[in-house]
Amino acid sequence: MSDPYLTLGLGEDADDAAVEAAYLEGIKRFPPERDAHRFETLRRAYETLRTQRGRLAYELFNTSPPEAADLLDRAAPIDASRRPEPELFAALLRGDA
């Protein structure tokens, strides 16, 4: 299981309201018809963290080791999408994979 805090883009001190706000924002950006997988991940993260009881249970009982995506999201979160430089286009157009 991916780290639900990272999925929702929250710090580990988030309270009920912050969790709900992050979830609503997330599903607005990724509704199920746009990205079903992302939506499902958001929903699961929300279900895990929506109460203080759930957050503590996650901290105490979740033994999944951190995944590669967790490490990346934690150390260097994704920014806004950018357009590639012309040089990258040129390389791919030349046939470099």
Partner 1 sequence: MPKKTKRRLLRGKFAPDKLSPADIERKAQEDSAAGRYREAITGFKQLLKQEPSPARRLALADAYAGRARELAAKDMLKEALAIWENRAGLGEDIAFDPEHAALLLRMGRVEPVLDLFASGNTLAPPQRDRLRSLLAAAYLSGADLVVERLPADDPVVLHGASARAALTAYCAAEDAALQSALAAIPFRSPYRDWVRILKALQHLPDAPHEAAGLLAGLGEESAFRHLRQAAQLALLPEASFLEAIPDAGKTSVRFACTLRGWPQARIALWEELDRLGGDPRPDTRLRFMNRHREALGTDWVRRRGLRLLLPGYPASRRQLAALGTGPLSKGETLLLAAWDAERREDLWGEQEHWKRYADHLIREGPEGTPETEYGLRIALALRRCDQVADVLGHEAPSGDPEALDMLVAGQLEESLTWDPDDRDTYLRLIGYYRRGKRRKDVRRLLEQARVRWPKDMQVLEAALDTAIESGAFKKAAGIAREILALDSINSGVRERLVAAHLAHARKQIPKGRPDLARKEVVQAGEWARSAHARTEIDLVAGLIALIEDAETGAPTLRDLVERLGGGLAAHLALALAGQALSFSLPKLFKQVGLGKPTPGGRDDLLAVLARLRTYLDGGGEITGGLIPYLTKALTDALWHELSKSETEAACETLRRYGLQKARLDAAHAALKRWKGEPLFEFHAFEAKCPGNPDDCSDKDIERLEAALERAQEEGDTRTEQRIGKILIAIGPMPFLPPPPAVGPDSPSTGPEALAALIRVIGLDRILDTLEMPPEVKRDLKKLARQQGTEAAAEALTSLLRMASDIIDPEADSPTPRPPPRRPAGP
84 binds partner 1 (CB under 8 A): yes
Instruction: Quote the distance between the C-alpha of residue 80 and its chain's center.
Output: 13
40-79: contacts with partner 1 (CB under 8 A): 52-53, 56-57, 59-66, 68-72, 74-79
Tokens describing residue 18: 């912050």
Q: Total number of residues binding partner 1 (CB under 8 A)?
A: 47
Cα–Cα distances in angstroms (integers) from residue 56 to residues 1, 18, 35, 47, 92, in the given order = 16, 16, 29, 13, 48
* Backbone phi and psi for residue 39, each to the nearest 5 degrees, phi listed first: -60, -45
For residues 3 to 42, the per-residue mask of contacts with partner 1, x marking binding by CB under 8 A and - elsewhere, is: x--------x---------------------xx-xx----
Whether 61 contacts 48, CB under 8 Å: no
> Which positions lie near partner 1, rule CB under 8 A?
2-3, 12, 34-35, 37-38, 52-53, 56-57, 59-66, 68-72, 74-86, 88-97
